[in-house]
Amino acid sequence: MLLRIALSKKPSKLTAITAAVALAIAPMPPALAQQNKGPPIIRDTEAEQVLRDYTRPILRAAGLEKQNIQVVILNESGFNAFVADGRRIFVNHGALMQSETPNQIIGVLAHETGHLAGGHLAKLREQLAQAQTQMIIAMLLGAGAMVAGTRGGNSNSGLANVGAAAVAGPQEMIRRTLISYQRQQEENADRAGVKFLTASGQSAKGMYETFKRFTNDSLFAARGTDPYLQSHPMPAQRVAALEELARSSPYWDKKDDPALQLRHDMVRAKISAFMERQDTVYRRYPLSNDSLPARYARAIATYLHGDLRSALGQIDGLIQVQPNNPYFYELRGQALLEGGKAAEAIAPLRKAVQLSNNAPLIEMLLGQALVGTDNAAHTDEAIAILRAAVGRETEAPLGYTQLAMAYGRKKDFAQADLASAQAAFLRGDNKTARELASRAKTRFAIGTPGWVKADDIVAAKPLPGQNSN
Ligand SMILES: [Zn+2]
């Protein structure tokens, strides 16, 4: 299952500070990055599992394995990765698509972990706050000079312009200070990233390959936009320093494990199939390509674009090659479920749940199939599975949406309202969440666990950036 889920916070609230810390390798401005259609976050067990496997050794080497740091996949096709809050690494799906080897994206994750381990975000915030104070003082002084100049009589005189220069001067100075500060952080993150890779027995070649590619791109993109960048050939120096450091590692020539490369290519095939236009998918994965990833991409594209029968045949072919791959059964179940065959979706989804060690997002899909059969005998099982799933996966509204339907079937309207309120809350729709939770409160006995949960939602303050209406 590849879910495109609305973030409870608006992506635009990842603020200018985030943009400043974002990898300098993203050549596109944030405004452009937001033009993409669709919800900002992608949820998919297979992709998330691969990213967890990529980050685990690095986080361990960085001493951050206990921090529960998550990798979040953003629904953006450009290349970007950044840290925003000290507990999450954001990665565009475009960064996965454009990384040809696991080692390339692992290098980016190592660099981002370098920012986390160095506490760069907090330091940059401090620096920004300082800069803002300096700027305010400078502007006050500038304004004073301007008034003085105007008082001098002729507002067109040279003196009047001193004020304007006094305003522009410090701003430019502060901007340059911040850029040089950020550059230093980038170099520190590079060094830390290489250190983590070497400590976990991995090559930094992929990191170097990725950054080298973007040095060229960013110089191209920057031409004619930022004279300061043009006059400072810093990126080339940074990449040269990175190359020297990376080559000094005993693991420089170490190749990715072929099994990991296959998993990487399967995830890229899945992202392409779900996110890209059908003709693009077939151009990337033409019928002449008989590899497993190409067959995976075409099977997904076939189900998405309407031919369920043909898609099921293709998925069964995949299952023959890898009979223990949970995501093939998940895909079979999803295709059947979305094709209106909920009852038939149950068996493959049970298998997917079992093979994935009870991955909660897949359990939610199974719960949806059980609820979707309209068979009362399945309702209690659906509730048990969904409750377990929402307990372990607290950010996906789907589990609560399906729970609400299951409770509705049982005419347990208190629990149904509560689950609907929780789903609305996770979608960021606070108004609906409060209304439903208020109604749920009238249906529970005061002080019971359900009443307390409903009361929490009624009392909850909107997250920063969330609509309070
Ligand atoms: Zn960076």
Distance CA 459, CA 389 (A): 25
Cβ distance 296 to 269 under 8 Å?
A: yes
Q: What does the pLDDT look like over 123-141, one tens digit per residue?
A: 767 777 777 676 666 666 6
CA of 19 to the centre of ligand 1 (A): 11
Distance from the CA of 276 to the center of ligand 1, in angstroms? 28
CA of 115 to the centre of ligand 1 (A): 7
Please calculate the CA angle 30-33-35 and round it to the nearest 5 degrees: 120
CB atoms within 10 A of CB 122: 10
Task: Kindly give the distance from the C-alpha atom of residue 172 to the centroid of ligand 1, in angstroms, as a whole number.
Answer: 22
Q: What is the pLDDT of residue 17?
A: 33
> Please, where are the H alpha helices in 356-448?
360-372, 379-392, 397-409, 413-427, 430-443
> Who contacts 350 (Cβ-Cβ below 8 Å, separation ≥6)?
366
> Does the predicted model carry a pTM greater than 0.85?
no
Closest listed residue to residue 238, CA positions, set 433, 23, 385: 23
- CA 229 / ligand 1 centre spacing (Å): 16
User: 330 C-alpha vs ligand 1 centroid, how far in Å?
Assistant: 36
Q: What's the gap in Å between 131 CA and the centre of ligand 1? A: 20
Q: Provide the 8-state DSSP code for 210.
A: H
CA distance 21 to 42: 22
Ligand 1 center–CA 184 separation, angstroms = 10
Per-residue pLDDT of 351-398, as tens digits, reads 999 999 999 999 999 999 999 998 999 999 999 999 999 999 998 999
Give the separation between CA 270 and CA 421, rounded to whole angstroms. 32
Cα 202 to middle of ligand 1, angstroms: 19
Task: Please calculate the CA angle 28-30-35 and round it to the nearest 5 degrees.
Answer: 90
Q: Distance from the CA of 23 to the center of ligand 1, in angstroms?
A: 4
Q: Which of 442, 437, 444, 428 is nearest to 459 (CA)?
A: 437
What distance in angstroms lies between residue 114's CA and the mean position of ligand 1's atoms? 8
Task: Report how far ligand 1's centroid is from the alpha carbon of 268 (Å).
Answer: 23
CA–CA separation, 134 vs 118, rounded Å?
Answer: 25
How far apart are the C-alpha atoms of 411 and 342, rounded to whole Å? 22
Residue 206 CA, ligand 1 centroid: distance in Å: 15
How many beta carbons lie within 10 A of that of residue 419, not counting itself?
Answer: 29
Q: How many whole angstroms from 257 Cα to the centroid of ligand 1?
A: 26
How remote is the CA of residue 411 from the centroid of ligand 1, in Å? Answer: 53
Between the CA of 21 and the centroid of ligand 1 the distance, in Å, is: 6
Q: How far is the CA of 189 from the centre of ligand 1 (A)?
A: 6
Q: How far apart are CA 27 and CA 98, in angstroms?
A: 14
Neighbours of 181 (CB within 10 A): 17
Cβ contacts of residue 352 below 8 Å, gap of 6+? 326, 327, 329, 330, 333, 359, 362, 365, 366
Which residue has 């075409």 as its token pair?
A: 298
Taking only the tens of pLDDT, the chain with its 469 residues reads 666 544 433 333 333 333 333 332 233 333 333 344 456 889 999 999 999 999 999 999 999 999 889 999 999 888 888 887 788 999 999 999 999 999 999 999 999 999 899 887 777 677 777 776 766 666 666 555 544 444 444 444 444 444 444 455 666 766 677 777 777 888 899 999 999 999 999 999 999 998 887 775 555 454 444 343 434 444 778 888 999 999 999 999 999 999 999 999 999 999 999 999 999 999 999 999 999 999 999 999 999 998 999 999 999 999 999 999 999 999 999 999 999 999 999 999 999 999 999 999 999 999 999 999 989 999 999 999 999 999 999 989 999 999 999 999 999 999 999 999 999 999 889 999 999 999 999 999 999 999 999 999 999 876 554 444 4
The radius of gyration computed from the CA coordinates of the chain, to the nearest angstrom, equals 26
Q: How far is the CA of 195 from the centre of ligand 1 (A)?
A: 15
Q: Which two tokens stand for residue 434?
A: 């409060």
| Residues 433-438: contacts with CB under 8 Å, at least 24 apart | 433/457, 433/460, 434/458
- Amino acid, single-letter form, for residue 403: L
- From ligand 1's centre to the CA of 384, what distance in Å? 43
Is residue 258 within 8 Å of 293, Cβ to Cβ? no
- Contact (Cβ atoms closer than 8 angstroms) between residue 308 and residue 335: yes
Distance 53 CA to ligand 1 centre (A): 21
CA of 175 to the centre of ligand 1 (A): 18
